[in-house]
Chain A
Amino acid sequence: MTAILDVRNLSTSFSTPEGAVRAVNDVSFAIEAGETLGIVGESGSGKSQIFMSVMGLLAKNGRAQGSVQFKGKEILNLQVDELNKIRGVKMSMIFQDPMTSLNPYLSVKRQMTEVLETHRGMSQDAALTAAVDLLDIVQIPEARRRVHMFPHEFSGGMRQRVMIAMALLCQPELLIADEPTTALDVTVQAQILDLLGKLKRETGMAIALITHDLGVIAGLADRVMVMYAGEVAERANAGPLFKSPQHPYTQGLLRSMPRLDETRANRLQTIGGQPPNLQHLPDGCRFRDRCSYAFDRCAAEKPLLRTIAETRAKACHLEAL
Chain B
Amino acid sequence: MLHYLMRRLGGAIPTLFVIIAGTFFLMRLAPGGPFARERKVPPEVEANLLKAYHLDEPLWQQFLRYLNGLLHGDFGPSFKYKDFSVAELIFGGFPVSLQLGGIAIVLALTIGLTLGIWAALRQNSITDYAAMSVSMVGIAVPNFVVAPILTLLIGMQLQLLPVGGWGHASNYVLPVIALCLPQIAAIARLTRASMIEVLSSNFVRTARAKGLPARVTITRHAIRAAVLPVVSYLGPAVANIITGSVVVEQIFSIPGIGRYFVQGSLNRDYTLVMGVTVFYGALIILCNLIADLLYGVLDPKVRYD
A contact set with B: CB distance below 8 Å: 55-57, 59-60, 80-81, 83-89, 92-93, 95, 97, 100-107, 114-115, 118-119, 150, 152-153, 163, 166
Contacts and interface: CB of A to CB of B under 8 A. Distances in A.
B304 A119 contact: no
Contacts of A119: 211
Contact of A97 (B123, B202, B220): B202
A288 B182 CA distance: 60
Contacts of B216: 114, 118
B202 A105 contact: no
Given A95-B202, A100-B203, A150-B300, A105 B212 contact: no
A56 B304 CA distance: 36
12 contacts: A80-B214, A84-B212, A102-B203, A104-B225, A104-B300, A114-B212, A114-B216, A115-B210, A115-B211, A118-B213, A118-B216, A150-B301
B211 A95 contact: no
A84 B205 contact: no
Contact of A105 (B123, B205, B211, B298): B298
Given A104-B301, A114-B216, A88 B209 contact: yes
A59 B301 CA distance: 29
Contacts of A104: 203, 225, 299-301
Contacts of B299: 104-105
Which residue, B123, B206, B207, B213, has most C-beta atoms of chain A within 10 A?
B206
Interface in B164-223: 200-203, 205-214, 216, 220-221
A85 B224 CA distance: 24
Q: Which A-B residue pairs are the 9 nearest by beta carbons?
A: A88-B211, A87-B211, A88-B210, A100-B202, A103-B203, A84-B211, A150-B300, A93-B209, A101-B202
Given A100-B202, A102-B203, A114-B216, A152 B300 contact: yes
B210 A101 contact: no
Contacts of A105: 224-225, 228, 298-300
Given A95-B205, A101-B202, A83 B300 contact: no
B220 A106 contact: yes
A57 B213 contact: no
Contacts of A89: 211
A228 to B, nearest CB: 26
Nearest to B205: A57
Interface residue range, chain B: 20 to 34
B206 A118 contact: no
Nearest to B200: A59
A86 B209 CA distance: 10
Interface in B205-252: 205-214, 216, 220-221, 224-225, 228
A80 B213 CA distance: 8
A175 to B, nearest CB: 11
Contacts of B206: 95, 101-103, 163
Contact of B210 (A81, A85, A87, A150): A87
A153 B305 CA distance: 10
A135 to B, nearest CB: 16
Contacts of B202: 95, 97, 100-101
A92 B209 contact: yes
Nearest to B208: A57
Contacts of B201: 100
Contacts of A87: 208-211
Nearest to B210: A88
Given A101-B205, A150-B301, A86 B225 contact: no
Contacts of A57: 205, 208-209
Given A95-B205, A104-B225, A118-B216, 15 more contacts: A55-B209, A84-B211, A84-B212, A88-B209, A88-B210, A88-B212, A100-B203, A102-B206, A103-B224, A114-B212, A114-B220, A115-B211, A118-B212, A152-B300, A152-B304
A308 B201 CA distance: 43
Contacts of A153: 304
Contacts of B203: 100-104
Interface string B271-305: 00000000000000000000000000011110010
A107 B304 CA distance: 13
Contacts of B213: 81, 84, 118
B300 A118 contact: no
A100 B207 CA distance: 12
B205 A83 contact: no
Nearest to B214: A80
A55 B206 CA distance: 11
Contact of B225 (A60, A84, A103, A163): A103
Contacts of A100: 201-203
